[in-house]
A and B are shown apart, each in its own frame.
Chain A
Amino acid sequence: MSIRRVSGLDLLLAGGWRFYRQHPGQLLLTIAGIALGVATVVAIDLAAHSARQAFDATTQLLRGQATHYLERPGGYINESVLGELRRQWRLPASVPVLERSLRFARQPGRSVTMLATDPLAATRLNTGLGNTESTSARPTLELMAEPGSVLLTNALARELDVGAGDQLALIEPADVMRLTVAGLLPAEEGARFVVADLATAQRLFGRPGELSRIDLQVPTAQEARLATAMASRGLRLQTVAQRLGQFDGMTRSFRINLQALSLLALLVGAFLVYSTVSFTVVRRRATFGLLRALGASRPLIYAQVVLEALCLAAVGCLLGVLFGGVLGAGLVDLVSRTIGDLYLRSAVDKFGWSAFAVFKAVGVASAACLLAAFLPAREASQTTPHSGMQRASLERRRLKQLPLQVGGACACGLGGALVLANTSALEYAFAGIFLVLVAAALLTPALLIVMTQAVAAVGDRADGFWLAYAARSLAASLSRTGPSAAALMIAVAAFTGIGVMIGSFRASVDDWLNYSVDADVLIRVPTALNPSESEEFWARLTTLEGLAGATLSRRTALPDGDGLAGLLAIQSHPQAGRWPKSETPRDQILAQLSSGDTIIVSEPLAQKRGLAVGDQLNLLTPGGTVAFTVAAQFIDYTSELGLAAMDLSVYRRHFADQRIDTVSLHAERGQSEALLADARTALADFAGVQVADAGLLRGFVLQIFDRTFTITEVLRTIAGLVAVMAIFNALQAQRLETRRETGLLRAGGLTARSVTAISLLQTGLLGLGAGLVALPVGLTLAWLLIFVVNRLAFGWSMMFLPQPGVLLQSLVLATAAGIAAGWWPARAQVSQPPAVDLRAA
C-alpha cells in the first residue's frame, strides 16, 4: 500500500511514532519481545548449521579428493583390506583412517578427536595434512619416524598452550604414552583435532591392525563391483554424498527437536508481541475513535497499525538476528558436543552464518508479527467512532467476546487433540501442540476472571475489603490485560513443560541406566587378544575377590541390510544382572532368548521397522539369511537408530564370532570398590584392556544427558525471561487502567503505602493466577512432548514425572515476576500527586 496514495497516513504514522517516543518502555518491550523470539530461532539454526559445517570441514580436510568411504557399520575394518584394495583392486589412493576421541590432562573436561592415518598415503589424496608448520621440514614424516608424535591444529595448540616439541599427558585413554607435538596444522579457524600416525593411534587405543574406515578414490566403473564384493564381508562402500546424507538422516530428529523448541520460543515471543501490539492499540483506542470521527476510514487505521507492526518487526528482527548471532556462537559448542556425543565426532566447532537460517527466522518472525498485529488492527479498524471514545463499550465488547473466545478455545483444543491423536508425522504433532497452546491462551482471560471473582468472594466473606477491591479491580481491567496475561501464561507453561519434560527424561534415563549398566565394574576388552592372552585373561577374572557373577557382551552392527542399527549379543548373569528394562518379565525374556533364534528389539527399532512381538526379522549370517522371532520390546536410550539383542550363544552359533567387547562384573554386596581395585591390579598388564567404574560411567552418561539438554535449558530460561517481560507489560496496562481510580482513592485519603500494597497485591494475584493456569497447560505440554513428540522423533518411551520442584518453581516465577515487575509501576504511581492520576483519562 503506497503511503502517498492514502491521504493522511504519513501524519498518522508520525503520531504513532510519537506515541512510542512518549512510551519508550512500551517500544523497548515490544522490540525486545520480537528480538528475543528471532534471536532464539536464529541462534539454534546457526548453531545447528555450524555443527553441520564443522562435520563437513573435518570430512573435507581429511578426505581431500577421496570419492568414497569404506567402513564396517558399528565396528572396525581389518587393516589387511587396505593391501587388498591397493593390490587386487588397483586403488593406490586408499587412505587408512582410525578416528577416536581422547582427553588431555591439560584439558580434562573436553574431549578431542584424534584422526590417525598413514601420512604418505594421505598425500595421495591431497588432504590438508601437507600444510603444516613445524620446526622440522617434514613434520608429517616425523609422525611416522617418532612414535607418539602428533600434529595439533593451531586452535587446539592455542587452547592447550603448547607448541612444537612440547609433550602432552593423556587421561583418556589411560596414560599409555605421552604425546609429542611434532608440528601445528594451520586448519580452518575453530578446528580442534589431533593428527597422528596410524601406528601411534592403534597402539594408543589398543586397536592394532584395525581401522575406522578407508578413504578411497574409486573410478565409477569399479564402484558397483567393489561395493558388492565388500558387502559380502560386512563392509559398506559409501560415496561422500551418501555419508553426508546419512549424517543428515541421523541428526534429523535432533535438529527437528531443536527447531521445535526454537519455534516454541518464537510462539512465546509471538504471544508477547501480540500482547504488546494489542496493548498499544487498545491504549490508543480513543485516538482511533477520534480519527474515525474525523473521517479516517477503516483501511487507513488498519494500514497504520499494520505498518507500525511491520516497522517494529523490522527493528526487532534486525536486533534479533544480531543477538541470535551472539547466542548462536555460544550454542554452537553445545550443539557440536551433543552431535559428537550422540552421533558422530566432529573436530570443528567454528561458528558460521547461514543466510537461509537468518531469512527463515526473519520470515517466521515477520509472519508472527503480522499475525500478532492482524487482530488488534482489525479491532482498531472496526472501532466505531462513537464506541471508540467510550471505554465502557470496550468492556461490553470484551464481555461479549468471551463466549466466542471460549468457543474458539474449545475448537482449537479439539482440533489440536484430533491432530495429535491421529498423526504419525512430527510436523503435524507440532501443529497440534500449537493449537492446544492457542486454545489455552484463548481461555486464559476467562479463567482469570473466574479466579479473581472467586478471590473477591473470599475477600467479601472474610471481610477483607481491600482484597475484594483489588480482585474486582483486576477483573475489570482484564479486558486490557488479558492478552498480556495470556502471554505470561504461555511463557510460564513453556517454562514448566520443558522443565517437566527434561526432568522426566532424566529420571527415565537414570532408571534405565540401573538396568542397562547393571554391573559394578566394566572391562573393555580389545578384540585382538591372542589365544594365550585370552586364556590368561579369563583365568584371572575367575580369581577376583568379591565377584558375584559376570555379564558378557559383544556389540556390532545389525546385519539387516543397512547396518545403521546395532546388535547386542549378551549373556546376562541370571541372578546378579538386571538387564533389560522391559514390560516383559526379565526371566521370561532370558529364557526365550536362550531357547532359540529369538531376539528382542528396542522401541526405536520396533517403530522404524514396524516390528511387534511375534514378528520375524531377517538377519544376514555367514550361513545365510536367518529369521529371528521378536520376543519382546525393551527400553534403550543408546541410539534412536535402534538396537536388537540376542543371546551370546545364539550369536556365536550363527555368526562364528567368539569375541567379547565388554565384561561387566557384578560384585557381592559391599564389595564393589574392592572388586574394582582387584580387577585393575589383575588386568594391568593386558595392553588395551580398560577397567572402569560402572558408577562413573552412569554418571558420565547423565553428564552427556545434561549436556544434551543444556540447550533446552537455555530455551527454558528464555521462556522465563519472556514471562517476566510479559507480566511487566500486563502490569503497565493494569496501572494505566486503574490510574484514575487510584487518584480517586488517594484523593479520598488512602496513603501512598496502601496504594502500593494494593497494587502489588493485584500484580501478585495476576502473576499467581497466570501461573496457576500455566501449570496444567505446562503439564499437558510436557505430556505431549514426552508421549507424542519424543515417541515420533526417537521412538523412545519415557516416564511422565511431574516434579513438584519444577511446578513450584513455575508458580514462584509467575508470582515473583508479578510482584517484582509490579514494584516499579506501583512506585511510579504514588510518586506523582493524585491530581495527575485524576486528570488521566
Chain B
Amino acid sequence: MPRQDTSLQLRSVTKRYDGTGNRDILREVNLTIAAGDYLAVVGRSGSGKSTLLNLLGGLDRPTTGSVCFGNRDLATLDDPELSAYRRSQLGFVFQRANLVPTLSVLENLQVPLRLNGVPARQARSRSRALLAQAELGELEGRLPEELSGGEQQRVAILRAVVHAPSIVIADEPTGNLDLDTATRTLDLLEHFGRQPGRSLIMATHSREVIGRTQRVIEIRAGRVTHAQ
C-alpha cells in the first residue's frame, strides 16, 4: 500500500477578511512543508501567522490560491471531508489551551480518538497511557478550570498528538507561559510532536523555539519574506 503524501503546499495564497478594507493579511504566499518538517513561523503581531496556520489546518479558506494536503486542494473539500482531514491528519495546540471546559482531562484526550471512531474503552486506555507517559496521570479526573495555565497547555499538547496525526500545528503554544513552564511545555511538544513522518509547525515569538526548529519562515506585510 503506497504511503500517503502528507506534505502541505501553499500556492499563490492570498487571504483577506471582511472589514479589513483592501488590506491582504496574506499576499501571494508560496510555501511547501514536507512530511517530517519542524517549522517555526515568525513575525510581528498581526502579521498573519495565525491566519497561515488556520489555512494549513483547514480552519479557514484562502481568498485566492490553493492550500494542498498531498495532492488534494483543501478548497475542493466539502465540510465532512474537511472535518475528516482535521480529525485524522491534524493536531492543534492554541495559544490559550482551549480545552473543552466541561470535559475532564482524560475525556479531553479522548475527543480526537472518539471522533476517529476508536471504541470508548480503547480510547480511554490510550489516553490514560499517554497521560502516564507525560507524567500527568494525576490530573486525569480534573476539569480544565482546575488546572494551571501550564498544565492546561500540556494537556492540550497531548490531545493534539493522542491520535497520531501527520501534522501538529501549534499557535504560540508558550506565549502565555513563564520561561520555565514554557521550556517544559516545549520539551513535551517536541517529545510527542516530533515523530518520524510527522510535521510540527509552530507560530512563535520565542527565540528559544526558533533555535530548536529546522526551518524558520518570517511573515512581513502578508508575505513570506524570509525562509531558511
Contacts and interface: CB of A to CB of B under 8 A. Distances in A.
B98 A8 contact: no
A53 interface: no
Contacts, number: 82
Nearest to A382: B79
A300 B110 CA distance: 16
A297 interface: yes
A14 B107 contact: yes
A11 B110 contact: yes
Given A293-B59, A293-B92, A295-B84, A8 B111 contact: yes
B83 A287 contact: no
Q: Which of B60, B102, B103 has the most CB of A within 10 A?
A: B102
Interface string B50-86: 0000100101100000000000000000011001111
Nearest to B81: A297
B107 A297 contact: no
A609 interface: no
A295 B19 contact: no
B88 A15 contact: no
Contact of A295 (B54, B60, B100, B112): B112
A19 B79 CA distance: 27
A15 B115 contact: no
A148 interface: no
Interface string B95-122: 0001011110001001110111110100
Interface string A656-672: 00000000000000000
A interface SS class = helix
B102 A292 contact: no
A296 B100 CA distance: 13
A15 B84 contact: no
Q: How large is the interface on B (under 10, 10 to 19, 20 to 34, 35 or more residues)?
A: 20 to 34
Contacts of A291: 100, 111
B87 interface: yes
Contacts of B100: 15, 287, 290-291
Contacts of A11: 103, 107, 110-111, 114, 120
Nearest to B88: A295
B178 interface: no
Interface residues of A, number: 27
Nearest to A388: B59
A292 to B, nearest CB: 7
B18 interface: yes
A128 interface: no
A16 interface: yes
A18 B107 CA distance: 12
A297 B120 CA distance: 18
A71 B218 CA distance: 100
Select the residue from A19, A22, A297, A384 with max chain B CB neighbours within 10 A.
Answer: A297
A295 B83 contact: yes
A296 B54 contact: no
A385 B92 CA distance: 12
Contacts of A401: none
Interface in A273-305: 286-287, 290-298, 300
Interface string A1-35: 00000011011001110110010000000000000
Nearest to B85: A295
A287 B107 CA distance: 14
Contacts of A298: 79-80, 83
Contacts of B94: 389
A26 B155 CA distance: 29
Given A384-B59, A386-B54, A8 B79 contact: no
A87 interface: no
B92 A294 contact: yes
Nearest to A287: B100
Given A8-B111, A11-B107, A297-B79, A396 B19 contact: yes
Report, nearest first, the 4 A-B pairs whose CB atoms are least far apart.
A295-B87, A8-B114, A18-B102, A295-B86
Interface of B: 18-19, 54, 57, 59-60, 79-80, 83-88, 90, 92, 94, 98, 100-103, 107, 110-112, 114-118, 120, 143, 159
26 contacts: A7-B115, A8-B114, A10-B114, A10-B120, A11-B120, A14-B103, A15-B103, A15-B107, A19-B101, A22-B102, A287-B100, A287-B102, A293-B86, A294-B111, A294-B112, A294-B115, A295-B86, A295-B116, A296-B83, A296-B115, A297-B83, A298-B79, A384-B59, A384-B60, A385-B86, A389-B94
Given A293-B92, A295-B87, 6 more contacts: A7-B114, A7-B115, A11-B114, A294-B92, A294-B112, A295-B116
